């Protein structure tokens, strides 16, 4: 586990343990509301995609509130053996 993102990774693990599967946006919003410094969306998605404790389980289609566009947001969950990686 790298030092720069260790706290971010632990916060994401605790959040997913508590809430279950969440979209990238929900995880990002939780981190920024619950921590002083916050994080960027790029850093959050990088941690989610590179850490073996997290797995993508699908997509949720969302409609943009401003424009009449739809886009996909990835849904994340913990792997079954995530405690072995700690």
Nearest Cα to Cα of residue 16 among 48, 43, 40: 48
For the chain, the domains span 6-85
Per-residue pLDDT tens for 13-59?
999 999 999 999 999 999 999 988 889 999 999 999 999 999 999 99
* In this structure, CATH architecture of domain 6-85: Orthogonal Bundle (1.10)
Q: How confident is the model at residue 1 (pLDDT cuts 50, 70, 90)?
A: low
DSSP state of 10: H
Per-residue pLDDT tens for 47-62?
999 999 999 999 999 8
Write down the pTM of the prediction: 0.87
Measure the CA–CA gap between 36 and 14, rounded to whole angstroms: 17
């Amino acid at each position: 586990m790298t030092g720069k993102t260790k706290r971010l990774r632990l916060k994401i693990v605790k959040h997913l343990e508590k809430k279950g599967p969440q979209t990238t946006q929900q995880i990002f919003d939780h981190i920024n509301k619950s921590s002083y410094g916050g994080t960027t969306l790029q850093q959050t998605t990088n941690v989610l995609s590179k850490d073996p404790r997290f797995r993508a389980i699908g997509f949720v289609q969302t409609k943009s509130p401003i424009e009449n566009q739809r886009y996909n947001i990835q849904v994340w969950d913990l792997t079954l053996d995530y405690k072995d990686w700690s």
